[in-house]
Amino acid sequence: MKDYSAPLDLLAGRVILVTGASSGLGRAASLAFARHGATVALLARDEAKLDAVYEEILAAGGAEPAMFPYDLAIADDRSLETLAGTLAHHLKRLDGVLHSAHQFFNLTPLTLQTLEQWQALMRVNLIAPFALTRACMPLLKQAPDASVVFTGETHGHHPSAFWGGYAVAKSGLETLTRIWADETRPEDNLRINTLIPGQVATSLRARTHPGLAPETLPTPEDIMPWYLYLMGADSHAVRGQIIECQR
């Protein structure tokens, strides 16, 4: 997939919701989706950063995006259903969701991680992606070809010391992906997958691996072929998969 060349109209006419759209992989994906024809619904808690991405999309000639300042750390069923209803009212459809928002504290032994930290990690990295997808499911099932992509993490797939609650939450996304794919009927025209980006030059990677020079790592833009492939119709048969970006 790293050599996948997406046609410029790959996502034409589609509406795609991106969480964590204000920075890192979410920002890069929002720009890439818009560049390939999508109307992007931008969701993040920082309204100022969201506004910057909004302006970037417009400056590049993309369709006017929608902005949803929203904190997944305090999400509940009612507010998520309201969010889904707002999407339906203003954008009329939903063809895809990319879950890129995340919560991370630091690398520490399990004995130093607190209950409060684990609750926050589970809520943003696992519970909110489930609940938001569930709230959007009626809209997604109306789409002729819908895709949900969870963003996994290498240490959730291959557990190792000090990643603690973050890795546990990210590993839960893989189980969630497989269960949901198993419950989805072929006639629903809905596919759900998890993509593990690996080491990418983001602010998170700078915190977890400060000794790695950013210029030695792929940029978020470098891995957009995977995101475009999974969000577009060419991946129609890819369902319930845990995909590690190979470079």
Task: Examine residue 64 and state whether it is found in any structural domain, yes or no.
Answer: yes
Is residue 2 domain-resident? no
Q: Is the pLDDT of residue 213 over 80?
A: no
pLDDT of the residue at 215:
65
Range of the domain at 149: 15-244
Instruction: Give the start-end residues of each E strand in the chain.
Output: 15-19, 39-44, 66-69, 96-99, 146-151, 190-196, 242-244
Position 198 scores a pLDDT of: 76
Does the structure show a pLDDT above 80 at 82? yes
Give the model's pLDDT for residue 22.
Answer: 94
pLDDT tens digits, one per residue of 138-171: 999 999 999 999 999 988 898 889 989 999 999 9
User: Based on the structure, what is the number of domains in the chain?
Assistant: 1
Give me 34's structure tokens.
Answer: 């818009």
Range from 3-17, 76-90, 124-138, 195-209 carrying the lowest mean pLDDT: 195-209
Q: What is the CA radius of gyration of the chain?
A: 17
CATH number at residue 84: 3.40.50.720
User: pLDDT at position 63, please?
Assistant: 97
How far apart are the C-alpha atoms of 11 and 150, rounded to whole Å?
A: 18
228-237 tens-digit pLDDT: 999 999 999 9
Considering only residues 202 and 105, tell me which one the structure prediction assigns the higher pLDDT: 105
Q: Which residues are catalytic?
A: 166
Task: Give residue-wise pLDDT tens across range 18-61.
Answer: 999 999 999 999 999 999 999 999 999 999 999 999 999 999 99
For residue 186, name the pLDDT band (cuts at 50, 70, 90): confident
Is 90 a member of any domain?
A: yes
